[in-house]
A and B are shown apart, each in its own frame.
Chain A
Amino acid sequence: MASTDRGVPWTASIAFLFFLAGQSAAQIPSAAAGVPQSKERAAAAQKLKSATNTASAQTNLSGRNSSSPDVNTIRKLLETHDQQSTFKLAQLIGQPDPKNATEICSGLGERRDAIFVPVALHGLELQTDPGAQESCARAVAKLNAPEGFDGLNRIALSDQQPATARLAAIRALARATPEQAPSLISLLTNSDPRIRAAAAYSSCQLRMKQAIPGVAAMAADPDPQVRQAALDAISLWPEAFTQQLLTIASNPKESEDNRILGLTALDAFPTEQKTAALVKSVSTLLDVQQPRDVQLASVQLLSQVPEARPALEQFSQKPGVLPEVLTQIEVAGIEPKYTAAEPTSTSASGSYREEHSDNSAWIGVIGGIAGGFLVIGGNLLLEWFKQRAKKKRDEPRKEILRKMLRDERFPERWRKLRTLMHVIGADEATTKRLLIEIGARGSEDGEDLWGLIEDHPFGKKD
């Protein structure tokens, strides 16, 4: 059902290059400069150029701005398989509006006509919006032409391109054949982990044998995000990475999440591919010392392999096997012969609530308490800093008040509150608070006078 590969008609290619030349000399591919311009080709290019102008004029006559055509205009252009519409589309796709580019590329991909390949590649290189880039790259891949995949490989490899365009090109290469996507192998060792991850996904989608060492190396990367990406990529093609999956599943230092993902990927093998070596390796995980979920997943995986039955029977007789694990073994048709250990979960039904272990509950409680302490501690600390800052702010005012209350020019050592307020630039309440804090008091005769208590002790008639 794949569409047949078709070459881009030379007239369209020349015309497209001519269009690019008109738009920006810097954007002309270097190869284009060497294209011999025969009279016939030059005439075709000229004809297409004038056709583009006519198309622009028509669009303008239709009452719409040529820079922002409506969806119907774009669809009409897509339905018209000629150089004129190709020109117009190439012009529109280079404009900064990502909606136009997305709309055009969505339509281009459905045309399945290789004449549109340069347009979609042009959009991928010019657009800066990741969504539009994704649409353009996808359109190139859907057009299913060798020159389109060549373009995607070129963009994927180019350090000059923005990372989002490269990632879009790498993802689109997943729609190629392995032979059409050679860039993916070298990109597995790229310095950018995102590029490496995307290359791993696409190469595993394509099941490229040359990619196996690169993806396997990523699975042992010290960066947990890279390891996670490698595991996801491996899940696309688990048969090629049995050893890596077994290593991940049986590694006690690996996160339990990843160990479970590894076992789940191994389980997806068809039964006939679950070899004796695989069964033997997974059987080593039938151990009460292993985490509960690892035990459960191992039992589930082995229960579908007849050769694993003895290992499961043997495990069911070991002391300390968890009840839920024994139940799983029982489901596989093996009668447990040993008294189970205490259950780790109080839930009896088959609901997903069973997944919750006591550990999780404790983690929740401890997490809640720790979170609470953190919030309270943070608030207290903030309050303390606030108070300290306030105290520091008040200190100069207090100093002025002390000086004023000890001023030798006023032998009675009483000062008017209004004067004090004015000098320190504070309101009445603040001034009174500061006066109290430095050990002052008001006079007892009802006048608005303040003095230091050391000068006016209580009991003395003022």
Chain B
Amino acid sequence: MNDKNARMLTLRPPSSSTLCRCAGRPRLIHITVSRIRTILRVLINPQPMRLKAPALVIVLCLWAFCGPTLPSLNAFVLSVHRAITTDALAQFPPSAVSQWERDQMEKGANDADLVEGGLPILDGPYEPRFHFDNDFNFPAVAANFLELSRLIDGNLAKTNRDPWEFGKALHAVEDFYSHSNYVLLYRQSVAKNGDHLVGSIPTFEEVLLEPAKYSEFLALLRTDLHTGRYPDHSKFLPANDTDHGRPVGPGMHKDTLQRTLFADARETALHAAAWYIRLYVRDKQSQRDWTRLKTIKFGATSEGGTSDGKH
């Protein structure tokens, strides 16, 4: 079992040994709590200035690199998640999904941010797989989908339906299109053939189920698909093209309205959410497709490819 499996969808308290979320700065991260305590002791106690000054310099340097910046929500804005889920559910009649189930699913889709989103003020747990963060290649993305499939299967197997938890799975699926370069790659794939009229973008599941139809795009996905790094590689430097990024500025997310591919990501997320709700209502064709997707491990094993899914 790899590390990712070991942490399968569990709530984790924030690590006390981590000074701050300065990804990509291992030297700073590895400053242990005991060293910080020593520095603080030197600063507080009546030591000679020659001892205090270097400690002061270290503290100032740390502050400069890991200084207090306000982290932001790392997903489609909550209202967007709710709107996507509501719109996807609108495609199903009340006989298939009751009003109570709709309400629960919408709230559950938001709950993934409220409980597992590491909201700054609450300093709560953060579960990257509910947000498709830090999947740096195709195998990692496929592994994330595979783990999600276990959660969904567990949910669908329950005697009493649990739309709230299913909504959480929808949150993850929706975030995939916002946090990855999927829609961008599709545009590139279409543009390569001289066609700039993209139309609606197929979902990841549709592409995997029809590999012949989307062979070029699938090949591009296998080489270039990735999701963003969260938290960003640095709190001090601006985000780069592999970072999730803040609402405004560089970064690869499409969570907010002004982003170039926001509409594409939102629309594709909507199609994907509706695809998964068909599973929830036990649509026979969707169930067959679902089994096939799990058999090919979401693209990780088709065409002879294998993956350990490690990030």
The residue from A2, A301, A352 contacting B259, defined by CB atoms under 8 A apart: A352
Q: Which residue of B lies closest to A133 (CB)?
A: B11
A129 within 8 A of B: yes
Contact residues, A113-141 vs B (CB, 8 A): 129-131, 134-135
A429 within 8 A of B: no
Asked if B100 contacts A1 (CB within 8 A), the reply is yes
> Contacts A257-B246, A351-B260 known; A226 to B78 CB distance under 8 Å?
no
Q: Mark A352-389, 1 if CB is under 8 A from B, else 0.
A: 11111000100110011001001100100110010011
A110 to B164 Cα, complex, angstroms: 12
Q: Which residues of B contact A110 (CB under 8 A)?
A: 158-160, 162
Expressed in whole angstroms, the minimum distance between the Cβ of B42 and any Cβ of chain A is: 13
A228 to B54 Cα, complex, angstroms: 36
Asked if B82 contacts A130 (CB within 8 A), the reply is no
Q: Is the interface of A mostly helix, strand, loop or mixed?
A: helix
Q: Which residues of B contact A368 (CB under 8 A)?
A: 237
Q: Chain A interface residue count: which class? A: 35 or more
B6 within 8 A of A: no
CB-based A-B contact count at 8 angstroms: 182
B309 within 8 A of A: no
> Contacts A197-B122, A229-B121, A267-B257 known; A171 to B114 CB distance under 8 Å?
yes
B101 within 8 A of A: yes
Q: Which residues of B contact A148 (CB under 8 A)?
A: none
Asked if B73 contacts A232 (CB within 8 A), the reply is yes
Q: Is the interface of B mostly helix, strand, loop or mixed?
A: loop
> Contacts A1-B163, A371-B65, A371-B237 known; A268 to B77 CB distance under 8 Å?
yes
On chain B, the number of residues with a Cβ less than 8 Å from chain A's Cβ atoms is 70
A112 to B257 Cα, complex, angstroms: 40
Q: Which residues of A contact B60 (CB under 8 A)?
A: 378
A2 to B164 Cα, complex, angstroms: 11
Sample of 17 A–B contacts (CB below 8 Å): A3-B160, A135-B11, A171-B114, A175-B107, A197-B119, A226-B121, A229-B122, A257-B72, A261-B72, A261-B73, A264-B257, A267-B257, A293-B258, A300-B258, A351-B260, A381-B53, A381-B54
Given contacts A268-B83, A356-B249, 16 further A-B contacts (CB under 8 A): A129-B13, A131-B11, A134-B115, A174-B107, A228-B121, A236-B78, A236-B110, A256-B247, A260-B247, A265-B77, A265-B78, A291-B248, A300-B263, A350-B261, A352-B259, A360-B250
Q: Could you tell me which B residues sit within 8 Å of A by CB distance?
A: 10-13, 50, 53-54, 57-58, 60-61, 64-65, 70, 72-73, 77-80, 82-83, 98, 100-101, 107, 110-111, 113-115, 119-125, 158-164, 181, 184, 187, 236-238, 241, 245-252, 254-263
